[in-house]
Amino acid sequence: MAAGTVQTEERKAKRRRVRKRDIYRGLVLAFACIGAVTVIVLLAYGIRLLADGKAGAGTSHMLIEERPSIDVELLTPNEYSRPQLALSEVKGIVIHYTANPGTTAFQNHDYFEGLKDTGETHASSHFIIGLDGEIVQCIPTSEEAYASNSRNSDTLSIECCHGDSTGKFNDKTYDSCVELTAWLCTRFGLDPETDVIRHYDITGKDCPKYYVEHEEAWTAFKSAVAAYIKSHGTKVSAEEYEQYVKSQEPGGSRQ
Ligand SMILES: [Zn+2]
């Protein structure tokens, strides 16, 4: 009988040990699960922070709230200079020179306007910057201009007036071009280092002449645009940026 009691005690003890072991395993499993979930949450949060930091460091979420002073003088719709083709996406800004020394922004505007009657060629530009730094807009930024050949469909164009045959922009024209380009870059989420190009970069044409022939002057121009964004822009969240872009497009027909 005594042996039987011992056996029962041993069995009870064994059962207790098994129960203890099960509880211990359960606890280990529970802690492992909590640990894994914590690691996943932290990783996701860290990746988001990194992504936000990256966006903030670039220009994609920089905004220049103050719109440059623009004289909006849209061309009459016509097949030679304002074909009203929708520009669904803006992937770049193309800088040109008028190749017509001493002419004013309005003379160039009127030349584009006159093409509807003369039918002489297909030509236009979204913006023209004059010798006094005035900015004249000919085409809404929602439409194509006839300026940049194969890139008409996804870029905005800026024609700059110049005083002489060197094609160099005077200070007023240059400064307005920097300001307008910077503002457009922030408005369309473009990087001045890679998305601001010359007509030359598309077709090899000597346009804008001075900035094709003086590579360092072109590099300096892009740096000036980047510096302008840094000094005049404010960093905003992706949501605020989206809201701003929407607010700039009343009824989807942005200028
Ligand atoms: Zn050009």
| Claim to verify: residue 106 and residue 44 sit in the same structural domain | no
Name the domain count of the chain: 2
Q: Distance (Å, rounded) from C-alpha 255 to C-alpha 247?
A: 12
For residue 240, the model assigns a pLDDT of: 86
| Claim to verify: residue 2 and residue 83 sit in the same structural domain | no
| Claim to verify: residue 44 and residue 79 sit in the same structural domain | no
| Claim to verify: residue 72 and residue 174 sit in the same structural domain | yes
| Claim to verify: residue 49 and residue 91 sit in the same structural domain | no
Q: What's the CA-to-centroid distance between 96 and ligand 1, angstroms?
A: 4
CB atoms within 10 A of CB 197: 17
Q: What's the CA-to-centroid distance between 159 and ligand 1, angstroms?
A: 7
Q: Distance (Å, rounded) from C-alpha 253 to C-alpha 247?
A: 11
Q: Distance (Å, rounded) from C-alpha 242 to C-alpha 239?
A: 5
For residue 40, the model assigns a pLDDT of: 55
Q: What's the CA-to-centroid distance between 4 and ligand 1, angstroms?
A: 105
| Claim to verify: residue 203 and residue 246 sit in the same structural domain | yes
Q: What's the CA-to-centroid distance between 148 and ligand 1, angstroms?
A: 7
Q: What's the CA-to-centroid distance between 125 and ligand 1, angstroms?
A: 9
For residue 239, the model assigns a pLDDT of: 87
| Closest C-alpha to 125, from 163, 93, 171 | 93
- Domain end, chosen from 41, 57, 73, is at 57
Residues 6+ apart with CB under 8 A from 39: none
Q: What's the CA-to-centroid distance between 217 and ligand 1, angstroms?
A: 17
Q: Indicate the pTM of the whole model.
A: 0.75
| Closest C-alpha to 102, from 166, 178, 175 | 166
DSSP β-bridge partners for residue 129? 135, 160
Q: What is the CATH number of the domain that holds 113?
A: 3.40.80.10
| Claim to verify: residue 70 and residue 195 sit in the same structural domain | yes
Q: What's the CA-to-centroid distance between 97 and ligand 1, angstroms?
A: 6
Q: In angstroms, how far apart are the furthest CA atoms of the chain?
A: 124
Q: What's the CA-to-centroid distance between 33 and ligand 1, angstroms?
A: 63
- Domain end, chosen from 57, 75, 103, is at 57
Residues in the chain: 255
Q: Distance (Å, rounded) from C-alpha 128 to C-alpha 13?
A: 94
Residues 6+ apart with CB under 8 A from 53: none
pLDDT in tens, the chain (255 residues): 555 566 677 777 777 777 777 777 877 677 674 667 666 556 666 555 555 544 444 445 899 988 999 999 999 999 999 999 999 799 999 999 999 999 999 999 999 999 999 999 999 999 999 999 999 999 999 999 999 999 999 999 999 999 999 999 999 999 999 999 999 999 999 999 999 999 999 999 999 999 999 999 999 999 999 999 999 999 998 888 888 877 765 443 455
| Claim to verify: residue 110 and residue 141 sit in the same structural domain | yes
| Claim to verify: residue 23 and residue 101 sit in the same structural domain | no
Domain that holds residue 37: 1-57
| Claim to verify: residue 130 and residue 26 sit in the same structural domain | no
| Claim to verify: residue 82 and residue 173 sit in the same structural domain | yes
**What is the gyration radius of the CA atoms in the chain, in angstroms?**
32
| Claim to verify: residue 32 and residue 89 sit in the same structural domain | no
For residue 250, the model assigns a pLDDT of: 40
Q: Distance (Å, rounded) from C-alpha 73 to C-alpha 57?
A: 36
